[in-house]
Every structure is written in C-alpha cells, then in structure tokens.
Structure 1
Amino acid sequence: MGAVREALDSVRLVDHHCHGTVTADLDRGAFESLLTEGEAWPGVSPFDSPVGVAVRRHCAPLLDLPRHAPPVEYLARRSDLGWREVQRRFLRATGTDVFCVDTGYAPDRITTPQDIAEAAGGTSYEVVRLEGVAESVRAAGVEPDAYAQAFHAAALDAVRRPGVVAVKSVAAYRTGFDLDPARPSDAQVTQAARAWLGSGDRLDDPVLVRHLLWTAVDLGLPLQLHTGFGDNDIRLHRADPTHLTDWLHLTAGTVPVLLLHCWPYQRQAGYLAAVFEQVYLDVGLTLHYVGPARAGAVLTEALEITPFRKLLYSSDAYGVPEFHHLGALAFRQGLAELLQKRVDSDELDLPDALRIARWAGRDNALRVYRLRNERPEGD
C-alpha cells in the first residue's frame, strides 16, 4: 500500500450527500431493484453489472463471506444477519464521521439521518429538497398569487430546522438545466402557479423551477444540484451542468453551488469549478456504479483542471448500505491511485498529495457547509 492510500484510509470522511437505507430485510427482487438506476429486467440480473460485481467482490467479506460469493449465498447471509446489523457493518466500514442526508426522496421506508449517525457512530445533518417543499405547499392549498410567498415561507421554515445545512434541487430531472437563467417576475410565477396548482402533477413547470432555484439563492445556504447520471426519468443531455453557465454568472457572489454526481460530465463540471468561484463538485453515485476498478479514471477526468479545494466526497448511497461502503472504498482507492501516480512521476510531492487527499475527503466539505469542528489542514 502506498503512502497516499495509507493516509487516505486514515481520513475520517465527510459524506456531503447521501440518503437513508431501506428499513426491511430484502428478498432478491427487492435487493436487485435497489442495485440499479434502471430496472431489473427479466433475465438480466443487476448482479451481472459492474456494480453487482463490486458488491460481490468488496461487500461480501463484511458479511463474513468469501470474495465473489454467489448472489444466492450473499442474499441468504444478508437475511440471516438482518438489515440493522448489515447497515451497522457497512456504515462503520466507511470510516465516515459526518453524513449530510437528503431526506427528500423516500419512496420506501428508509432510515433517518439520526439512524444513520447512530449506526455509523458519527454525526448527521439534513439536506432539504426544495421540490418536496413546493409540493407540500400545493398539497396544503394556496392561491396562485400567494404561491411565491408561501413557498418562500415554507422553505425558510424547513431550513431553520435544527441540523439543516443545505438545500437541494432535482431540476435536472424535472426540466433540465437549459432554462432561461433570469429570475422570473411575480406575474410569471403567478401565471405558472395557476396552471400547476390545478394539475396535481409534480413540480416540472420551467418558470416555477427557475423560481425555486432563485429562492434557493435567497435562502443563503449551499445549494446541491443533481447533474448527469440518474434513472431513466432524466434526459441526460439536458443535465449537462454547462447549461447553468449564464445562471452561474447571474448568481456569482451568492451561495456555494455543489454539482452532484456529474458523470459523464465530470470534465464539464471541472471546468465550471475552475472558472466560477462558487462552484464545487463530486462524483458520488458514479463511483459505486463504476466500482473501485474504474474510480481512478473518473476522478482523473474530474481533477484535470478542478482546483483541489473544489472536490468533495459523497457516496449518494440510497436504499442499501452497500453503496455507502462502495462509495467510500472507491473514493479512497481511486483518489489514492491518482495522487500516488503523480507523486511517483514527481508531478506532486508527497506532502501536497496528502493535503489534497484530506481536503477532498473531509476539509473541503467542512469549509463549504461551515461544519468545522477542527481547523482544516492547510488553513
């Protein structure tokens, strides 16, 4: 093991974006459905994919199984242990101190931020998903001309809850980013609200999504934005973060903007982080889907021009705690591989590499979310 990997393994991570896990024991169908962003098709098992192979290779030993254990044996052992013990083992293995948990996506019954913290022996904070706030305002009943004020008030109430450190939008899913970047007028919001409030649909009106993004700026907290890879509800070409360029010009000097996931646009995200002071990025979700074997390649592209204070770690794990473990493992292995190569070729000296590793794994997130419980190295 190289010096960089040894140092990275000792860093207590800050997972700046993740979700809870399902609070039930899972049969094969349910488990496989959570292994994929797509669907578990008849005759095509998600175990026969890069992430499925990574689970059998890297997660099986934590369940006291041999590496590459067959799916039947893996799932039987998982059931024998029970979901609580499985969660505890995988979350403890991540070496994560802090979890920032998006609580806005819960089609299944999942663990809370506090549940995650207790299982991992760490600390948790909440990330408020603003589309959910907007949809709760509609559900409560509001007149079109009062929608803007009601949404702002509800969002303000949400971010004032104890432990909230950021807001998030899934505009990439709802409309894509190729939107008019300007703040919509009151009249435009009222007109759009009139149509949406009577529709019963999720929030996908372009004017109201623009209004949501500008409201996020007004709230003053870091704003997380899903970009790139997602399930088949997304239109990937519209989730390219460079569509945000004009909006980023207009919002310069306001709030940090955290570009989540990014694949296959990690280079575009790196460009934005290099030219806009407020932009940061991660490649969470991507890493457990490509697996530790390819994590270094993705991180290499993400860091081609990204300033080292702009890369954060996240797992974006949802549903199964295996993803928390794989995300942390792939991040440590991939970043160590990248940095060690640069040290070995004399592109970096070792102290610089160790500082970059700590920044990406921990200190950058502590800084952005103002969670500093210690002085970040290099300050």
Structure 2
Amino acid sequence: MDSMDSLRHVIQFHPLIDNHAHNLLTRDAAADYESFPLESITSEAHGRALQNASTTMPLLRATKQLSELYGRPCATWSDVVEAHSDWVKTDYEGLIRRSLEGTHALLLDDLLVDEDVEQYAWHDSFTISASKRIVRIEAVAADLLQQIMNAERNPEESVWSTFTKKFADALEHAMEDPAVVGFKSVVCYRTGLDVSPHYSDEDSLTTSLHRILDSGTRKSGYRIDDKPLNDWLVQQTLKSITFKKQAGIVKPLQFHTGLGDNDISLVRANPAYLQPLIAQYPNADIVLLHSAYPYTREAGYLACVYPNVYLDLGEVFPMVNRQGQETIIRQALEITPTNRLLWSTDGHFHPETFWLANKQFRQALEKVLVEYVQQDDYTISQATTAAADILFHNSNRLYGLKLDPQYTHPASSTIVTSKQLPPELPPALSTFLKANPNLEYVWVQWLDYTATPRVRMFPIPEFIRIALHQRRIGVSLAVLSMLQDDTIVAGGNVTGQLYLEPDCSSLYLNAGMSESTASSASVMTSWRTEDNKPLDGCPRTALASVIDKLYQEHEIDVKCGFEIELMLLKPVKDGGGKVLDYKPATEIHSWSQITADTRRMLPVLEEVHKTLAAIGIELQQFHAESSPGQFEFILPPASPLQAVDTLIAARRVVTAVAERHGYRATLHPRPFPDATGNASHTHVSISRPEKDASFLAGILAHFHSIMAFTLPQDISYERVRSGIWAGSEWVSWGFQNREAPIRKISPGHWEFRLMDGLANPYLALAAVLAGGLIGLESRLPLRIQDCTGKVPSTKIAPIWRLTLSSSGRLYSD
C-alpha cells in the first residue's frame, strides 16, 4: 500500500464518532410514510415543498447510491421506497446495521419525537460503543413547564421561581449523569442566534414566561419561543457548563446553526450572531452544528479565533449536492484548525440518513484531502492525521468519551468501489467482497481427522493480506493427532506446524446464527508444508488429487450431492431450568408425513430453507424421516469439493437455526437405541457412464478400506443393520435398492449409503472416488451382480463392525 493509498485507507476505513444524531423510528413508524416521508432523508423541506425534492440533485444522487445499501437496483425514487419498505418489513434491524456500519458511537439528541422513536440505549446493539445523550435544553424547559402547570403548587411560590429551581435541578442532574455528554440548543429555530450575552431583568423574564404559558395549554404543552426566556436558558446552561468545568466535568453546548426547517429565520441562523456570547463564556465549549450552511466561513472563523468553539461538518451530507459538499469542506479548511472540526450525520428517523451521510462525507473528504496532498498543501501524514481527528479523535477528546478506535467495520469501506480492491486479489474473493458489502470477518476453518470444524477468525483487511500471501496462518502439527476434547493421542507430534491455505471459491456467508455473525463468512482451507508444498494427509488435498486424476487420466468429471439426516431434540430440564437430558422434538412422527407434531416443526424447517437460500444454497427438498424428531435435507449436486464445502456450511446453518428455536440438532448415527439412525447418504455421478462398471467394481473391491473413512467410529456400525434401509451388512449394490450399501440410480449415478455425520466428508468422499479410480486403472470387471432382493444373491463376507474394538484391535463378524 503506497502512501496515498494509506491516506485513502484511513478516510474510508477509520471508525467514526457521530457527534450529533437523533433516534431511529420504530419499525411501525418507519413504514408510516405519511408521517415520516422518506424524501426527508435528503431535504429539510416539509409539506408541499417536500414534493419538489424529487427533482433535486441530492435526491437523485441518493437514489443511485441507495442501490448499494439495499442490495438491489434502484432506478427511480419509487424503487427506493419499495426497497425501503421491503427491508423494514423483513429485516429492519439488518437495514439499521448496514446503515450504521463503521459507527463507533452515537451521541443522540433523543428528544425529537418521543412515542415514535426507539430509546437511545436501544441503538447500542448497532455500534461498537454505547450511545450517549445530548440533552436539548428547550425540550427540558417545555417538559418542566407542563409538569408545573399540571401539578399542585405552593400558592406563595411563583411559576417563575418554581421553574428556575426545577431547570437548575435538571441541569445539575444532566451534568452528573454519565450517559449525558453534552447539551443542545435550538434557539436558532425559536428566536435566532442573536442571543444576548447578558441576563434580562426578572420582570422581563417573568413576562416572557407568561407569554409562553398564554400561548399553550396544560394538555398540548408549551413551545419555548419567547426571546428573553430563550436567551436565559442558553445563558444558564453556559453558566452551569463553565462552573462544572472547574470541577473537571466537560459537557459542551451544541447550537443548531444554518440549514434547517422552514420555521427558521435564515438570516438569524448565521453563527456570527453568537460572537458576543462566545466571548462572554470563554470556558464553555461550544459546538456550531450542521456546517452552519450557508455560513460555513463565518463558523470556521469563530472556530479559528475562539479556543472554545468547534465546527461540526454534519447535515449537509446528504442535503447538498456533491460539489456543494466538497466546497463546504474546503471552506471549513480555509482557516479552521483541523483539531476543531467534528463529524456528525444529523441522522434521524430513517436509517438511510446515517448511511448516506457517512458514505458521502467519506467520498468528499477523500476528494478534498487527496487534492490538497497532490497540490502540496498537506503532507500525507498531515492529511491522514486530519482525517482521523475529524472522524474520531476530536469528538473523543471534546466529549471525554475515552474510546479506543476499533476497526470492526472495514469491509464496506474496503469495497465501496471495485477500484479500491487490490487488483491482484483472487477473483473469487474480489467477487465475494463486492457482492457482500457488509462483510467484517472471515472464519478460516478446516476439518480435522475427527470431522471437528476448527476455526480461526480474521478481520477483512487481515484476510486480504492472507489471500495476497503477505502472511501465513500457522497451526501446530498436533492437530493431526488431536481428539475432540483437544487431547493428543499417543505418538502425536507437537513439534512443527502446518499452514492453512484458504480456497476463496469456498466462501459462504455465516447465516442462521446470532446477529453478531451476520457480517462474517467462512472459507475452507487446504494444508501446506513449511516450504509451501501440499501436506500429505490433508483431507481437502486428498480429495482434490483424486478428482484431478479422474479427469486427467480418464476424462471423467464427478458430481456429488449430500443428504443431511439429523434428529431435532428438545431439552429435558429440572425445576431450576438445568438441562438433564434430551428427547426427540416430535413423538407423533413417521416417514414423509405431516403429523400434528411435525407440523409444529415447519417454522424450523422452512427457516432452514430460507436461510440456506439467502447464502446461495438451494435445497432440493426436505421432509420427515422415519424416527421421531428425524428430518432430511437434500442438498444440490456440485463438484466434489464444492459439494463437501456446501455440506459443511449447510450443517452449520441447520444446527444454528435449530438452536435459535430452542432445539438441538444431532448427526449422531444412533442417538437412541430404538431410533433408525442418521446417515449422510452421498450421491456420486460420473460424466462417462460407459465406464461405470469398472468404477463400481473398484469401490466394491475396496469396500472394507473405504468404510474406515465413511463409518469411522464404533457407533457408526450400530446404525448399519439389515431391514431398516440403512445399507445392510453386505458388500453389494442394487438398482434402486435402498437396502444395499450402494444404490444404483441410473448409469453412472449411485447413492452411497454407508456414510454418516461422524465422517470427515473430504476423506470419506476421497476414499470412495479412489476406489472407483483404482477400478478404472485396473479395468476391473464387475463380478458382483445386481442385488434385487433383501439380501445379496451371492454370499459375500459381511462388512459391519469392521472397526476398532474396545481393546483397540480390528475385528469383523
């Protein structure tokens, strides 16, 4: 990464603190376009004036950009509304998570619309750090007045006296509240920014208060919009801020400036009016919000000459067009110190306001800073520091947040545009990143000899370095001798290590698990030696080698497909909720029937299908199997490696979805003595069916060796019994015979029935195909005939229980 790329990296990847935003709508309110029109995400207009927003450049630009957020093309605003509606209905929290990606913390002015928005703490699940509150002083005053007027009062105490005491108490409470990090005034909306630096006399204030009381009611409330009182609220807040700062409590006062709704006086929205007030309270930190547009230069001047003033660069993103946004940043940088600039979205109501603001700000900031570097106005180091300060560090210092930036949302920044991806990335990874703009982590995994999935987790930037071979993932060679409980068998080697080589074509999104895994994916790996050669004994490499030989030596392509048989179990708990045992999730249950019990499981089964479909795995069918709680999911055919990768991903989804519904899914071959048992039936087809006789003969000739891989544990053989469609106990095959271990379906297409969930499927499938390869190489004749009955017509040595006995010796009946 060259120096300019490092600057772009910081601008696009650095986590941000949103120093001024508002609460998001509830799901129901988000769908109420009449009360909360979607056009407001790019315009401050209201009512009839908002209808004109559809012709503005900010809205037209947003229409195109939101295609990326929604994951679907949006050519018109109607497309945007439809996409928004679909997300709100099906995955509102997912839309919020996408929209807040990259946000470290939100500082929320949470008194905008109480009943239709989520509470400020609700937003914590979508950001790295907890949300903080910005207290709007006019809203506090209005609430106090309504309380006072609706309560019984001491007749000897005036409303003004009661109000001043309660307001002072409210300020004190907010100052002591660790969740509150600052205050905000909307005096700009009410009486303008020409706030007097000096108090009015008490008679004027009392009169001002009564004018407000006369204009409202106890039921409807009171709008604080009379100048003496509005000025007094600001003065009192600044006085309290100054006093508390002496005690080490720093909580700035934010002012709305510039751009706003149509009830603002645009002339008096100029922050230059605040200069006398700023000078009067030099120890009170003041933030000028919303870029003060169109008075950005005036605000920048104040932030330049007064050490207690900061300029916020929010709201104009996405309210102003691209060129205007770049101009605003340039004007802010004309004389404003970069350590006095803050970032905010002014995001409110709809999640899209946050997403658009963050996206457009990063784009504009990159354009401006890169040009300044190219023109030698900044060094790269200076521009990089400025970007990080504006996005994160300035707010972190000003509000005393004491946060450490965590790069947990780099993925969408990595792939904002395809040209930002390293061109040498493996095509499969590049395609996957572009298709999944919210990806944060990749789980690098492998299946050990016990079929236990092992996982290492990497943030996207680090995984990209792995994919570019800029670093390697070393794992102890002890894993070759490790059991499921992490103990090492006798003779295991704990010296040395193997290296994991990700196959990016195996990338799958993690789905069905908790929301914390919603932005991660898994990738399978092969094993390499210290000198980067294929490691003997790697299950994935073994399978790939057999596949390659079949094609190179015999021009045979192989397709495979797996069936997942499993049992869903429900916990048996004691009175204290402790799990004592498990039992089948259904009792009234039979093969391929919808019973009263299996009908209850439909939400689980259908969620499995939908979750798999969402990550590109299309089930061919699913149905109830024979034993209580037993179900089967049939996966699509694919090349052998892809088929096994799909199997592993699908098993994880099934297990996770079951857990979400309170069930446990097991692949155990015989979880209960009277159960039919779970298999992992495997379909194999070859592209040259005229060679199927020798291929099948080779498998049959080496059946005993193959079963060491397909039925690897003692319990595996407890499932293989005659008369239960489990593959029987004899080396045999039969056309459409489900009692034979190999069912021939059509020329060159078989179902291999003696495999279960305890097998490492890479090794198991490699063993099956290797048997077929040997048959082809030796041109073996098929001497075992089609078994058309319940048992083979030719007596062949039974194969079941060919495994390790309790003494460790091989034995067979």
Q: Same fold (TM over 0.5)?
A: yes
1:207 aligns with 2:228: yes
Q: Contact (CA 8 Å) 1:113, 1:126: kept in 2 or not? A: yes
- 3-state DSSP of counterpart to 2:289: strand
The corresponding residue for 2:272 is 242
Q: Which has the higher strand share?
A: 2
The corresponding residue for 2:122 is 115
The 1:208–1:27 alpha-carbon spacing in structure 2 relative to 1, beyond 3 Å, is: closer
Distance 2:225 2:47 in 1: 27
The corresponding residue for 1:135 is 142
The corresponding residue for 1:102 is 109
Distance 2:305 2:321 in 1: 30
The corresponding residue for 2:21 is 18
Deviation at 1:2, TM superposition (A): 4.6
Correspondence for 1:91 among 100, 118, 121? 100
The 1:28–1:105 alpha-carbon spacing in structure 2 relative to 1, beyond 3 Å, is: closer
The corresponding residue for 1:32 is 38
Greater Cα shift, 40-49 or 200-209:
40-49
1:51-90 correspondence to structure 2 within 5 Å: 51-66=58-73, 68-82=74-88, 83-90=92-99
Q: Which has the higher helix share?
A: 1
Deviation at 1:110, TM superposition (A): 1.4
Q: Contact (CA 8 Å) 2:293, 2:316: kept in 1 or not? A: yes
Q: Contact (CA 8 Å) 2:40, 2:50: kept in 1 or not? A: no
Deviation at 1:151, TM superposition (A): 1.4
Q: Contact (CA 8 Å) 1:32, 1:47: kept in 2 or not? A: no
Correspondence for 1:257 among 271, 278, 286? 286
Partner amino acid, structure 2, of 1:69: A
The corresponding residue for 2:161 is 145
The corresponding residue for 1:217 is 238
RMSD: 2.1
The corresponding residue for 1:196 is 212
User: Larger relative contact order (C-alpha < 8 A, sep ≥ 6)?
Assistant: 1
Partner amino acid, structure 1, of 2:18: D
Q: Contact (CA 8 Å) 2:148, 2:163: kept in 1 or not? A: no
Partner amino acid, structure 2, of 1:75: V
Answer with 1 or 2: which has the greater Rg: 2
TM-score (structure 1 length as normaliser): 0.91
Distance 1:160 1:120 in 2: 24
Q: Contact (CA 8 Å) 1:263, 1:283: kept in 2 or not? A: no
Q: Percent identity, aligned pairs only?
A: 30
The 1:71–1:194 alpha-carbon spacing in structure 2 relative to 1, beyond 3 Å, is: closer
- 3-state DSSP of counterpart to 2:334: coil
Deviation at 1:113, TM superposition (A): 2.0
- 3-state DSSP of counterpart to 2:287: strand
Partner amino acid, structure 1, of 2:143: S
Partner amino acid, structure 2, of 1:22: L
1:323-334 correspondence to structure 2 within 5 Å: 323-334=353-364
- 3-state DSSP of counterpart to 1:277: coil
- 3-state DSSP of counterpart to 1:46: helix
Q: Contact (CA 8 Å) 1:32, 1:46: kept in 2 or not? A: no
Q: Deviations over 1:60-85 (max 9, x none)?
A: 2121112x432222222222222333
- 3-state DSSP of counterpart to 1:227: coil
Partner amino acid, structure 1, of 2:76: P
The 1:123–1:291 alpha-carbon spacing in structure 2 relative to 1, beyond 3 Å, is: farther
Correspondence for 2:320 among 263, 266, 290? 290
Aligned length: 371
TM-score (structure 2 length as normaliser): 0.44
- 3-state DSSP of counterpart to 1:184: coil
Deviation at 1:58, TM superposition (A): 1.5
1:332-347 correspondence to structure 2 within 5 Å: 332-347=362-377
Deviation at 1:90, TM superposition (A): 1.1
Distance 1:48 1:27 in 2: 22
Correspondence for 2:311 among 266, 281, 287? 281
Correspondence for 2:10 among 7, 10, 16? 7
- 3-state DSSP of counterpart to 1:304: helix
Q: Contact (CA 8 Å) 1:113, 1:125: kept in 2 or not? A: yes
Distance 2:330 2:366 in 1: 11
The 1:178–1:43 alpha-carbon spacing in structure 2 relative to 1, beyond 3 Å, is: closer
Distance 2:204 2:122 in 1: 42
Greater Cα shift, 98-107 or 310-319:
98-107
The 1:112–1:47 alpha-carbon spacing in structure 2 relative to 1, beyond 3 Å, is: farther
The corresponding residue for 2:54 is 47
The 1:65–1:213 alpha-carbon spacing in structure 2 relative to 1, beyond 3 Å, is: same
Distance 1:73 1:190 in 2: 54
Deviation at 1:159, TM superposition (A): 4.0
Deviation at 1:42, TM superposition (A): 8.1
Q: Contact (CA 8 Å) 2:239, 2:281: kept in 1 or not? A: no
